[in-house]
Amino acid sequence: MAVGPVLSGKQVELLPVKPEDAEFIISLRTDPKLSRFLHPTKPNIDLQLKWIHDQIQRAGDFYYVIYEKSTKSKVGLISVYNCADEHAEVGRWICTEPVCAVESFMLSCDFVFTQDARRYAVLKVDPENKKVLTFHKTLGAEISDGNNIDVNPDESLLTYVLRREIFMELKGKFM
C-alpha cells in the first residue's frame, strides 16, 4: 500500500489523493489547456475511483493533491511513482498556479532524495512542453540516453535524470 506522507512547504501542502478527490482530478486532467501534455483521462467518475483505489494499493506509487496554503484550495496534482532501488519517477504533474507548481515539484523531489533515499529522479516530458523542459534543465536535469538509467522508456517522451547531488545544491534556492 502506498499512501505517502504529507509534504509541506512554505506555500503548498501535498496531501495523498483520496477517493473524494476524483472529481477534482477529472476536472484538471480533462481540461484541454492544462492536460495537453498528459496521457488522456476519460471523464468517468467510476473509472477514476477505481484508478485511485488501484493506485493506493500499488507499492512505490504516491499520488498527491497540491493545496495552496493561503487559500486552502486544491490547485494541482503530482506523483512520485515507479520507485525502484535507486530512482523514482516524478510526474503526473498538473497545476493551475505556477508558484505552487514549482514548490510542489521541489517537495516531491525532496521526498525522493531525503525521505525515500533514492539516488536520482526520472522525469519524463512531452517534447512540446517547453516550459517544463526549461524548468528541468534549470534544475540541472540531464537528458538520458537510456543507457545510464534503468527505466521503462516511453518513445513519445523525453527522459531526464535529476541526480540527488544536483538537487541538494539547488534546493535552497527554490524551497
At 1, the pLDDT band (50, 70, 90 cuts) reads very low
Kindly report, residue by residue over 8-66, the tens digit of the pLDDT. 999 999 999 999 999 999 999 999 999 999 888 999 999 999 999 999 999 999 999 99
Task: List the domain boundaries for the chain.
Answer: 7-174
Considering Cα of 13, then 14, then 16, then 17, what sign does the dihedral take?
positive
Closest CA to 119 of 162, 61, 62: 162
**Is the pLDDT higher at 152 or at 43?**
43
Please choose, from the candidates 62, 65, 11, 16, the residue with its C-alpha nearest in 3D space to the C-alpha of residue 174.
11
End-to-end CA distance of the chain: 29
**What top-level class would CATH report for the domain 7-174?**
alpha beta
Q: CA 159, CA 124: separation in Å to the nearest integer? A: 4
User: For the segment 55-87, what is each residue's pLDDT rounded down to a tens digit?
Assistant: 999 999 999 999 999 999 999 999 999 998 899
| Measured CA distances, 151 to 21, 121, 124, 146 (Å) | 29, 11, 10, 8
The Cα-based distances of 155 to 80, 93, 97, 125, 126 in angstroms read 20, 19, 29, 11, 10
What digits encode the pLDDT tens for the residues 91-109?
Answer: 999 999 998 999 999 999 9
Backbone angles phi, psi at 131, to 5 degrees: -65, -45
Which residues are 136's β-sheet partners?
A: none
Q: Give the pLDDT of residue 125.
A: 92
3-state SS assignment for residue 22: helix
